[in-house]
Amino acid sequence: MFEGFKRHQIKVGEVEIACVVAGEGEPVLMLHGFPQTMAVWARIAPALVAQGRRVVCADLRGYGASGKPPAQASLLNYGFRAMALDQLALMHALGHERFHLVGHDRGARTAHRLALDHPGSVASVTLMDVVPTTVLLTDLRKEVAQSYWHWFFLAQPGPFPERMIQADPDFFFESCLFGWGAAGPEDFNAEQLSAYRQSWRDPMTIAGYCNDYRATLAVDFSDDLIDQGRRIAAPALILYGASGAMARHYNIPATWSERCTTIEAAAIPGGHFFPDSAPDEVVRRLDTFLARHPLHALP
């Protein structure tokens, strides 16, 4: 997996961020979501490299091979602002002051925060299958709550969710992948699925997941309420699963149009995990969008 990519563990502040890097050309940072790792991009990133781009795929703090600092002192450690600063520092360490940004799920929420807080660093942003955090939490439909129950279970005080999950992590996380994602085992590449399993079997990773979701309720919701009127300055591409819970219950392009200066939106066949189930379509959409918004174009 990621043949031809160079692996790095780069110290950024208090944590090390794991990443893989390959290619030459305009830099593209790709961020995964829950309950996955950078492996979600294993069939997408090489295609972008082949198209003449330098691609960086990173694990978020708390996930995969990245650092997992304790959250006892403050859940600020796991807010999207902290995660965004990790990734900004990672790209600076790799020599990229300005770059394209792609995120799915939690990675998309991190990308949203990074694009708001550091607009000069972001040439374009692609957000995959999310509505803004404030929209989901202030307009929570009962159907969405039934699908996205993990938001509230993982956010419970520790060690309750951690101990429950550790009893059978494969059962728990595969219930997420194959349950609320409108997908089945056949939609996932075996090697990528193995990488997800290897990661989520680690008790420290399970704690990282829980701290991420605890921070969403304790930190990120307030941050996003404060920034309700701000727009992403960079051109934005919004992709979403045509049969996913978000598309069924929200008008995804409309929720983002008032939060972006320039927006394109498209539905991808499949559910929430379409980067796994439809990688070729994701590559096609990304290639077209990135070609229209070169790095040297100012926001």
Helix (H, G, I), strand (E, B), or coil: what is residue 182? Answer: coil
E-state strands within 93-201: 99-104, 122-128
Mean pLDDT of 79-87: 98
Q: Is 150 a catalytic residue?
A: no
Question: What distance in Å separates the CA atoms of residue 154 and residue 165, rounded to the nearest whole number?
Answer: 9
- The predicted pLDDT at position 297 comes to 63
Does residue 72 or residue 193 have the better pLDDT?
A: 193
Rounded percentage of the chain residues whose pLDDT exceeds 90: 89
Q: Give yes or no for residue 89 having a pLDDT over 80.
A: yes
In contact, 36 and 277? CB cutoff 8 Å: no
- Please tell me whether the overall predicted TM-score, pTM, comes out greater than 0.75 for this model: yes
Question: What distance in Å separates the CA atoms of residue 233 and residue 123, rounded to the nearest whole number?
Answer: 9
The number of residues making up the chain comes to 299
Q: Which residues pair with 262 in a beta bridge?
A: 235
- The predicted pLDDT at position 74 comes to 82
- The predicted pLDDT at position 273 comes to 96
Mean pLDDT of 70-99: 94
Rounded percentage of the chain residues whose pLDDT exceeds 70: 98
Q: Which residues pair with 54 in a beta bridge?
A: 27
* Maximum mean pLDDT: which of 143-147, 178-182, 292-296: 292-296
Mark out the alpha helices in 176-233 (DSSP H runs): 190-200, 203-215, 221-226
Task: Give the DSSP letter of residue 74.
Answer: -
Q: Give yes or no for residue 181 having a pLDDT over 70.
A: no
Mean pLDDT of 33-61: 98
Give the Å distances, CA to CA, from 275 to 113, 188, 220, 262: 21, 9, 25, 23
Question: What distance in Å separates the CA atoms of residue 38 and residue 41, rounded to the nearest whole number?
Answer: 6
Tokens of 208: 């990282």
Which amino acid is residue 75, in one-letter code?
L
Name, in order, each residue with C-beta under 8 angstroms of 22's C-beta and a sequence gap of 6 or more: 2, 4, 5, 6, 45, 46, 49, 54, 55
What is the H or E stretch that residue 262 is in?
Answer: strand 260-268
Q: Give yes or no for residue 139 having a pLDDT over 90.
A: no
- The predicted pLDDT at position 144 comes to 84
Tokens of 211: 């701290």
- The predicted pLDDT at position 298 comes to 52
Q: Give yes or no for residue 212 having a pLDDT over 70.
A: yes
- Across all residues in the chain, what is the average pLDDT? 95
Q: Express each pLDDT in 226-284 by its tens digit.
A: 999 999 999 999 999 999 989 999 999 999 999 999 999 999 999 999 999 999 999 99
- The predicted pLDDT at position 296 comes to 78
- Say which of 105, 212, 220, 223 is annotated catalytic: 105
- The predicted pLDDT at position 142 comes to 87
Name, in order, each residue with C-beta under 8 angstroms of 50's C-beta and a sequence gap of 6 or more: none
Q: Which residue is associated with the tokens 């694990």?
A: 59
- The predicted pLDDT at position 263 comes to 98
Mean pLDDT of 107-128: 98
Q: Is 32 a catalytic residue?
A: no
pLDDT band at 145 (very low <50, low <70, confident <90, very high): confident
For the sheet containing 53-58, what is the strand order? 6-12, 15-22, 53-58, 26-31, 99-104, 122-128, 232-241, 260-268
Q: Express each pLDDT in 3-22 by its tens digit.
A: 999 999 999 998 999 999 99
Domains of the chain: 6-292 (3.40.50.1820)
- Say which of 96, 249, 272, 293 is annotated catalytic: 272
- The predicted pLDDT at position 271 comes to 93
Q: Give yes or no for residue 35 having a pLDDT over 80.
A: yes
Tokens of 268: 């991808």
Using alpha carbons, select from 259, 168, 154 the residue that is nearest to residue 207: 154
